[in-house]
Amino acid sequence: MTPNDRFMDTAFTGEELRNTVSFDPDRHLRDDGGEGLLDEILSLLAATENRKRALKLSDAERRRVTASTLLGNLAAAAINRVDPKRFVTVSFNRNSYAGSGLGVATMTALRDALLERKMIEGRAGVRTVGMFDDVRSSLTRLRAAPALLDLFDQHGIGYPSIARRLDRGVIVLKDRRHGVDPDPPDEVALTAPVIEGMNRLIAGAVINLPDDAWDRIIARHAAAATKDQKERADAGDLAATALYRSFKHDWQHGGRMYGGWWIGLPKEERPLLTINGERTIELDYSQLHPSILFARVGRPLNFDLYTLPGLDSPALREVGKDTFMRLLNRTAEKGAPPVVRMRAKDRKLLPPGITPEEYMRRFLAQMEPICRWLSTGEGTRLQKEDSDLAIAILSDMSSLGIVVLPVHDSFIVQEKHGETLKGSMISNYKKKHGLIPHIR
């Protein structure tokens, strides 16, 4: 019986199989429970293979790391606070793990052994070639079956049992462009100790959200219609507490911090977070990207860029914010005017007498000082600037031993540290951009 045949023992609907979480190659098991589970599963794998010779030390270590990573991903999905029924999408192509230290041969052997014992379930990936030689593929989907869930319980696997490997560093470059140095420049590399220091403070803190907030998040997740909406409604991976900085294409684009489960919380639930049992406060920069662009031309942003005079309802403000972000992130041909069309749902919000064309004309007119950066893909370059600002703030607070939970351009601390945080946010913005920011 082939592995694909074993997958056919269970049947899942397309909707079930679309409920997935991506495999994280940096995740692994830790603590006594995690190590005990890992030892048991590796013994099971050894019995399956019935080797006559022991593995080389280096091969044995790679096998242990690989098994720890696969099991860590399956365990994290199984104990997710919001949705424990998600599948993990896993590639069994060796090219997917170049430089990761993981062995695809071990992952394949472990998959087959766990399938044989009905410890995992899911659907094998497929690769098809169409009549025009177009290749379509989907990744294998795996999740823990009842037998493995029982083992998780026996070994006491919980959020403390799962961590993110930091041996490959807290700075990541995704989709690296050809010719870009894989090693970060000094100004980026020097931010790693700041992130590592804050990770240590976070690891020593107790971060909680009350049960009624989780109930609302679970209900929101269940009601979400699309995968994107479900991901926005989901923040249940409480094993994710280690921050890392993620760049895209090169070292001047992106750089924001990810890795903390609180980042995915709905905004209205974040005020209920506690740190070490104490209430928290969240401060953020008002209109950060627009204010940075205005600072480039030496002007303070002293009005709400997202609203037009007479069109200041909350719903239309969200339209303005969305329109600005689309103008900022799209890339048009050089010299082309910065234009986007209003979404159909947004047009319905306009009052009588205001056409979409009139709205866009007026909206672009008040952005005239910064139009040179619209439709140039400036958004990810601005993320580099706001992430540099966030690093400076984390450095200040870490030196004082204050736990900070960053959410891109906002920061959560215990209420008693609110004024200290605000002072750091103002001073670092002024140092970088020469103006006083508005803090909410």
- pLDDT tens sequence across 271-305: 999 999 999 999 999 999 999 999 999 999 999 99
Q: Are residues 23 and 40 in the same domain?
A: yes
Q: Are residues 283 and 160 in the same domain?
A: no
Arithmetic mean of pLDDT over the chain: 90
How many Å apart are CA 320 and CA 324, to the nearest integer? 6
How many Å apart are CA 350 and CA 195, to the nearest integer? 44
Among the candidates 117, 152, 167, a domain finishes at 167
Q: How confident is the model at residue 438 (pLDDT cuts 50, 70, 90)?
A: very high
Distant-in-sequence, close-in-space partners of 200: CB < 8 Å, separation ≥ 6: none
**Residue reference for tokens 């401060």:** 283
Per the rule left: phi > 0, alpha: psi between -120 and 50, beta: everything else, 406 is beta
Q: Are residues 274 and 314 in the same domain?
A: no
Q: Are residues 294 and 316 in the same domain?
A: no
- Return the H-helix or E-strand segment holding 215: helix 211-223
How many Å apart are CA 141 and CA 134, to the nearest integer? 22
DSSP alpha helix (H) spans, 91-143: 104-116
Per the rule left: phi > 0, alpha: psi between -120 and 50, beta: everything else, 375 is left
Which range (46-60, 315-329, 387-401) has the least confidence? 46-60
Among the candidates 114, 147, 167, a domain finishes at 167
Q: Are residues 162 and 219 in the same domain?
A: no
How many Å apart are CA 403 and CA 76, to the nearest integer? 24
Q: Are 426 and 283 in contact (CB under 8 A)?
A: no
Domain range for residue 264? 169-305+367-440
Q: Are residues 314 and 187 in the same domain?
A: no
Q: How confident is the model at residue 234 (pLDDT cuts 50, 70, 90)?
A: low
Instruction: At 31, list the tokens.
Output: 């603590």
Q: Are residues 141 and 179 in the same domain?
A: no
CA separation (Å) from 308 to 205, 326, 350, 371?
44, 17, 11, 17
How many Å apart are CA 327 and CA 435, to the nearest integer? 24
Q: Are residues 123 and 1 in the same domain?
A: yes
Q: How confident is the model at residue 148 (pLDDT cuts 50, 70, 90)?
A: very high
Among the candidates 167, 191, 215, a domain finishes at 167
DSSP alpha helix (H) spans, 50-176: 57-78, 104-116, 146-154
How many Å apart are CA 113 and CA 121, to the nearest integer? 12
Q: Are residues 137 and 208 in the same domain?
A: no
Q: How confident is the model at residue 233 (pLDDT cuts 50, 70, 90)?
A: low
| Number of domains observed in the structure of the chain | 3
Angle between helices 314-329 and 379-399 (to 10 degrees): 110
- Return the H-helix or E-strand segment holding 411: strand 410-414
Residues in the chain, how many?
Answer: 440
Q: Which amino acid is at 116?
A: E
Report phi then psi at 391, rounded to 5: -60, -45
Q: How confident is the model at residue 336 (pLDDT cuts 50, 70, 90)?
A: low
Q: Are residues 94 and 116 in the same domain?
A: yes
Q: Are residues 289 and 388 in the same domain?
A: yes
How many Å apart are CA 124 and CA 4, to the nearest integer? 6
What percentage of the chain reaches a pLDDT higher than 90? Answer: 73
DSSP structure string for 250-289? STTSEEEEEEEGGGGS-TTTGGG-EETTEEEEEEEBTTHH
Q: Are residues 189 and 160 in the same domain?
A: no
The pLDDT value recorded for residue 135 is: 40
Which range (121-130, 145-154, 364-373) has the least confidence? 121-130
